[in-house]
Amino acid sequence: MKTKILIAISIMCATVLVAQQPRIPASHKNLAYDNNGKLYFELEGKKYFAEEVPNTITIEQFLGKATGTETGVNIDFGNFKGTVTYGLIPYGKAPHPLPVYRRSIVAQNGKVDINIRDDFKYPYDFVDWKENGYLSIGYRLADESGVILFDGVISLNGTGPFEVVPAIYEGPFVSIVTDNSAIIWYKTTHPIKTSLEINGKTYESNKESNYHQWNVEGLVPDKKYDYKVNYGIQSQSYYLKTAPGKGSRKPFVFGYSSDSRHATGGGERRIMGANAYIMKKIAALAHMKEASFIQFTGDMINGYLSNKEAQRLQYYNWKKSIEPFWHYMPFYAGMGNHEVLGHIFRDENGRQLGFINAFPYETHSSEALFAEEFVNPENGPLSEDNNKYDPDPQNKDFPSYKENVYFYTYGNVAMIVLNSNYWYAPSVNNQPTLGGGLHGYLMDNQIKWLRETIAKLEKDRDIDHIFVTHHTPAFPNGGHSRDDMWYSGDNSKRPFIAGKPVDKGIIERRDEYLDILINESTKVVGMLTGDEHNYNWLKLTSDMPIYPENYPHKKLNVTRPIYQINNGAAGAPYYGQEVLPWSSHTQSFSVENALCLFYVDGKNIKMKVYNPDTLNLIDEVVLR
């Protein structure tokens, strides 16, 4: 009897444990939880479990536990092993305040003691901390092999003993700047109340928080506004400029690039996930050229992780690299394949068998983390739920499009940002029954939203030019001929939903997409793409070959030309040129790091492409 009771209790406990796990979306097949609540993928009767990677490195750990001392500050970074380099930050004395590093010390048992009194005494006190009674230091963590992991900030009050006080460790950032509004946001090391001064108004927090966001309205077009962020005993001051008024058609410049995941070469070319060296150069060049905004579409980071906090750290490092310039102009981000955050299933030898977008989608998907880390417009479609393939219309079986598909306008230009790596499952080609989105594929609800958005912008008399940006080229030229929107001409590639393929293959969907840009619009200038780590452009015309031999499906009617401008040269390892059906139409192929600058002047657009590292002009093209 006791044995039966114990068995019943065990079954009951296992049932409760499984019931507590996140619901498995009906859009996937062959997934289940075992009695211990562990997620597995079943293949040919065998179970392969999702890897569980602990939070070994996080932003929270690298912010450290700081304690003021008589001579400076002691910081505990937990199990960190490596060096800490530090220096004063000249807030208010430089327009782009970066740490001026002075010392490096090796962490002992994860801890460092920084001696402010000795290290920054006369004549090294260039921020006047002795006089002001407060200071901020920037520090850089590098592991024992020299790889840079993190750049942080600590603020101190006093001249000895010192007291740790709140610092802004991320931001302030300017986002979604219109002709009459803007958003300013930042994060602090401690939960505090802060305030923002702009346009003669003061916005004040009503509660303590680590995250601060101000929606500023009531501004006037084409005007420079100074703003000041107050936090504790400190403040930071910068400026922003509003967009031109609707219908004014005043000239302006904007920038485009993508693919800045970390590279070889050491130093800032590899700061845990990002090529901070080239990104900083891109931001500096754009600011010097008076760009109004930057569009950056995908592969910001290395990604491809299963640990959310580790991926968040990589996003932080990317944002930190351009922070000194993001104080002034907005950066709009789009998703690429390297932004994927997923469940990874491995065999007993560690070989990867399955990789799908992480769930629950509301909190752990690639798209959810992306929305947490960026401030983008929220005017896109909802999700792929309720499409014709949705296996369970009563529940959420797809991630959100919030802040990863959207559009915005600036002057007489509209930018439509798409996600060609939505619900991305890197294993979908090898494990189609497991399911997931395909690299390069624009899914049904997104296409429907695009068509509606294009139609709306076509009717807008204040918009003359439309750019559409997504990570994957329609016509790859070097590095991704076996995928993107081509797959070596194999139209059988497509997403799988609930174990079944969708109706249209990758080339059919590419053509449906291009038909909207070409034949349902007169304003679309072209596509801004990346993924391939090079710069080039082509002009899609009716005589450009775009199909494999004996292609059986309906072909695209190219009634007017549009451009594909590929710039995946923001620091990721380069790809050389391949021979493809449209190679004779490909122009200006280059593996130099690149920033595309678009000079918009009424009905005219000229593109200039610069190497942000050496500042030489790579290319110059009149688009309109």
Give me the CATH number covering residue 385: 3.60.21
pLDDT given for residue 53 in this prediction: 84
DSSP per-residue codes, 535-556: EEEEEE-TTS--S-TT--SPPP
Q: How are beta strands 39-43 and 46-49 bridged, if at all? A: antiparallel
Kindly state whether residues 78 and 39 are assigned to the same domain: no
Phi, then psi, of 574 in degrees rounded to 5: -70, 155
Residues 193 and 129 both lie in one domain: no
Q: Are residues 315 and 438 in the same domain?
A: yes
C-alpha span between 538 and 619 (Å, rounded): 13
> Does 144 map to a domain?
yes
In a domain, 438, yes or no: yes
How far is Cα 485 from Cα 263, in angstroms, rounded to an integer? Answer: 25
283: enclosing H helix or E strand: helix 276-288
Query: Which residues make Cβ contacts (< 8 Å) with residue 555, sequence separation at least 6?
Result: 511, 547
Give residue 19's pLDDT. 57
Q: Which residues of 4-13 are buried (b: 16+ CB within 10 A; e: fewer)?
A: eeeeeeeeee
Q: 258 and 225, same structural domain?
A: no
Q: Report yes or no: 307 and 53 within 8 Å, Cβ to Cβ.
A: yes
| Residue the block writes with tokens 């395909």 | 438
Q: Is residue 465 part of a domain?
A: no
Same domain, 150 and 177: no
Tell me, yes or no, whether 24 and 107 share the same domain.
no
Calpha distance 539→469 (Å, rounded): 16
For residue 533, give the nearest of 579, 491, 578, 581 by alpha carbon.
578
Q: Which domain holds residue 189?
A: 171-241
Closest CA to 446 of 335, 565, 547, 545: 335
**For the chain, which residues score pLDDT lower than 50?**
2-3, 5-16
Q: Sort 22 into a burial class: Cβ within 10 Å, 0-12 / 13-18 / 19+.
A: middle
> In terms of domains, do 358 and 493 share one?
yes
Is residue 152 located within the same domain as residue 222? no
CA 64, CA 152: separation in Å to the nearest integer?
9
| Residue 32 covered by a domain | yes
Domain membership flag for residue 459: no
Residue 363's H or E segment, with its range, is helix 361-364
Same domain, 388 and 439: yes
Q: Report the CATH number that the domain containing residue 212 is assigned in CATH.
A: 2.60.40
Show which of 28, 49, 70 is a domain's final residue.
49
Sequence-distant (6+) residues with CB within 8 A of 161 are: 68, 69, 70
What pLDDT shows up at residue 18?
53
* DSSP reduced 3-state for 448: helix
Domain contains 247: no
Q: Do 236 and 247 meet the contact criterion of CB atoms below 8 Å apart?
A: no
In-domain check, residue 431 = yes
CA torsion sign for 604, 535, 595, 518 is positive
Rounded to whole angstroms, what are the CA distances from 565 to 411, 450, 559? 21, 19, 19
Q: 10 Å Cβ neighbour count for 18?
A: 15
Q: Per the domain annotation, does 410 fall within a domain?
A: no
CA 96 to CA 526: how far, in whole Å? 34
Does 342 lie in the same domain as 217? Answer: no
Radius of gyration of the chain (CA): 26
Regarding whether 20 and 81 lie in a shared domain, the answer is no
- Domains in the chain, number: 4
**332 and 220, same structural domain?**
no
Instruction: Find, among 374, 425, 423, the residue nearest to 403 by Cα.
Output: 374
Q: What is the value of pTM for the model shown?
A: 0.96
